[in-house]
Structure formats: structure tokens, C-alpha cells
A = this chain, B = another copy of it.
Amino acid sequence: MAENGDTKTATSDQLRQYIERIERLEEEKRALMADIRDVYSEAKGTGFEPKIMRRIVKMRAMDKDLLSEEDFLISSYRQAVGLGE
């Protein structure tokens, strides 16, 4: 009976420890996300457009060939629907 109680407590403790580790990491993630927002705000204050910067960040993360292909397709589709640049 005492042993059962101990096992239960050990399991609860273990679960609580996992949850607390996750919470600490989630907290760090939230702090980083706030830092990222701050950089975009700062850039906006200098005259850069955050929405376009986010597009650039995504493009830079893409494979070059895939980006070229996408550029080509977007340009073709724009021409097709009369949105040509």
C-alpha cells in the first residue's frame, strides 16, 4: 500500500517535471517570438515594410531552384490573368 502510494507519487512527480520542462522551453520560445517581433518593429521604424521582410525571410529559406520555379510560375500566372508586372 505504501509502495503503491510511492509509485503513484513518483509517476506524478515525473509527469510534473516533464510538464515544467516544456513550460520553461515554451516560455523561452515566447521570449524569442517577442524578440523577432521587436526586430520587425525596429525595422519598420527605419522605413522597412515588415510584411515584405517576412516574404524575404521565407524566400531566403527556400531552395534556390524551387524559388526560381515559383518565380517563373507566379510571373506566368500573373501574365495569364492580366496582372503582369
- Cβ distance A12 to chain B, nearest Cβ, rounded Å: 11
- Cβ distance A38 to chain B, nearest Cβ, rounded Å: 9
Report copies per complex: 2
Interface residue ranges, A against B (CB under 8 Å): 14-15, 18-19, 21-23, 25-26, 28-29, 32-33, 35-36, 39-40, 42-43, 46, 48, 53, 56-57, 60-61
Q: Which residues of B contact A43 (CB under 8 A)?
A: 15, 18
- The answer to whether B25 touches A57, judged by C-beta atoms less than 8 angstroms apart, is no
Contacts A28-B32, A29-B29, A32-B29; A57 near B23 (Cβ below 8 A):
yes
Q: Which residues of B contact A48 (CB under 8 A)?
A: 14-15, 18
